[in-house]
Amino acid sequence: MQNLRHYPFSILTILVIWYLSFFTPPQTRLEEITNFDKLVHLCMYGGLSSVLWIEYLIHHSIIKKWNLIILCILFPILMSGVIEILQAYCTDNRSGDWMDFAANSVGVLLASLAGHFIYRPFIQKRFPHPKS
């Protein structure tokens, strides 16, 4: 629980995603755009994974590959699957969709590529940790 204080933006992003996943969205003209909701899913989970990567990299001087995989890849994908199942079986206003789950997973994987090749070098240069 002590480490949760290092992830305020991640926690906020998770709460926003849970809220958006279960409220009834208003009708807009954006729904007319084919697969617009898939782009929204990709951005939500890509954003979550990006925030997790950034907060992890800023607060940890020693990067543990398995911690990154669990926190920044597996956790968002599993959370996405749980939300899709809950939407399918526990709501009347939403439906679970395998394509939403796929879009969520692609967002996480794209953010993880950015985390490894863009965020990590940038953060290591801008936020040097003292040598232990």
Closest C-alpha to 49, from 95, 88, 91, 105: 105
What's the CA gap between 120 and 58, in Å, rounded? 9
User: Rounded to the nearest 5 degrees, what angle is found at the Cα of 28, between the Cα atoms of 27 and 34?
Assistant: 110
> Roughly what angle, to the nearest 10 degrees, separates helices 36-59 and 98-114?
40
Q: Please list the pLDDT of the chain residue by residue as tens digits (132 residues).
A: 568 899 999 999 999 999 999 998 888 887 788 899 999 999 999 999 999 999 999 999 899 999 999 999 999 999 999 999 999 999 988 888 999 999 999 999 999 999 999 999 999 998 887 654
* Other Cβ atoms within 10 Å of 123 Cβ, number: 18
Can you give the residue ranges of every domain in the chain? Answer: 42-127
Q: Which residue type is seen at 5?
A: R
Q: Residues 18, 80: contact at Cβ < 8 Å?
A: no
Write down the pTM of the prediction: 0.92
Rounded CA separation 101/99 (Å): 5
